[in-house]
């Protein structure tokens, strides 16, 4: 049975090109969050290294590792067990000849509950993820943890209402998104702003009557001959779309808020969004061009 409340922390941090530096700092942030009472703690996407997807370079495939025997996942299992916290953990996965942008959910006793492979893979200047990552093959995942049913998408997934809706249909109590996002190259017309990014996820909060939170990195990173500045603005939205906690573009550490899951469930039922759905009419969503073909 899901708890009535959960204390959530989302971590904002800078990242270097040194694995041990990043992992040690991430562990320190997790300890800090747990000391403040956090029960579920989310670190940013691919916090183990610089966001290498700025460029296409063969050598960056060396950063990927299988989940079994992974260089740092086991350390976070031990940390989760020690502190009694849930850790949805982003990492670069190698599986046979495939590579994935993945996340493993670690329960509060250190158990690995399962693996999620990022579904939506972006491809654009400064975000060349299709070069590195196979499209995820796990489907969307929701995990029963000690502190509720946790649904997690990864970065680009956060722009898709389908991701949020599927996880809610699977019974998620709240939605989390580890991310790495910031400035665009000069030739790109997309806005260099956190506002649209936040609004997309706040829309998921409203249309699903659920808490939504995202953890972003900060700082300027140079990879190859490119440079990006990550805009932070890690945040937590409540089930009505109100921003209840937010960092700016420089703060580092855990951002905390207590989620009232009981009130969210009651509000969600009263809004009727899930009662009034018409899935039998949503066939075009299963196509790429909006034309449902029969026979």
Give catalytic residue positions.
Answer: 45, 118, 155
Backbone angles phi, psi at 103, to 5 degrees: -145, 130
Give yes or no for a contact between 207 and 244, defined as CB atoms under 8 angstroms apart: no
Beta strand residue intervals within the chain, DSSP E? 5-14, 40-42, 87-95, 98-106, 112-117, 142-145, 148-152, 174-178, 211-215, 217-223, 226-231, 235-237, 243-246, 253-260
Hey, what are 41's tokens? 């703690």
Angle at which helices 73-83 and 19-35 pack, to 10 degrees? 10
Residue showing tokens 């890690």: 234
Backbone angles phi, psi at 90, to 5 degrees: -80, 140
CB atoms near residue 159 (< 10 Å)? 18
Helix ranges (DSSP H) in the chain = 19-35, 73-83, 129-132, 161-169, 194-208, 261-271
Q: Is 224 left (phi over 0), alpha (psi -120 to 50) or beta?
A: left
Residue showing tokens 């093959």: 137
């Amino acid at each position: 049975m899901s708890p009535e409340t959960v204390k959530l922390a989302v971590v904002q941090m800078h990242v270097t090109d040194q694995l041990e530096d990043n992992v040690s700092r991430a562990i320190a942030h997790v300890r800090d969050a747990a000391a403040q009472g956090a029960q579920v703690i989310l670190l940013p996407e691919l916090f183990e290294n610089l966001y290498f997807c700025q460029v296409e370079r063969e050598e960056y495939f060396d950063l990927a590792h299988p989940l079994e025997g992974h260089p740092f996942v086991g350390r976070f299992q031990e940390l989760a067990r020690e502190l009694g916290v849930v850790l949805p953990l982003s990492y670069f996965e190698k599986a046979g000849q495939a590579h994935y942008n993945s996340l493993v959910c670690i329960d509060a006793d250190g158990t690995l509950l399962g693996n999620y492979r990022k579904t939506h893979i972006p491809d654009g200047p400064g975000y060349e993820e299709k070069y590195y990552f196979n499209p995820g093959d796990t489907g969307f995942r929701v995990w029963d943890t000690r502190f509720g049913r946790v649904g997690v998408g990864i970065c680009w997934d956060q722009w898709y209402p389908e991701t949020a809706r599927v996880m809610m249909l699977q019974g998620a109590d709240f939605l989390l998104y580890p991310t790495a996002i910031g400035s665009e190259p000069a030739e790109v017309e997309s806005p260099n702003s956190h506002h649209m990014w936040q609004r997309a996820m706040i829309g998921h909060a409203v249309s699903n009557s659920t808490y939504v939170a995202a953890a972003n990195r900060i700082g300027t990173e140079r990879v190859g001959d490119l440079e990006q500045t990550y805009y932070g603005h890690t945040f937590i939205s409540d089930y009505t779309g109100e921003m209840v906690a937010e960092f700016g573009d420089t703060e580092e550490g855990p951002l905390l808020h207590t989620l009232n899951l009981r009130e969210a469930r009651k509000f969600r039922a009263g809004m009727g969004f899930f009662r009034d759905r018409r899935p039998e009419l949503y066939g075009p969503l299963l196509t790429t061009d909006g034309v449902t073909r029969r026979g």
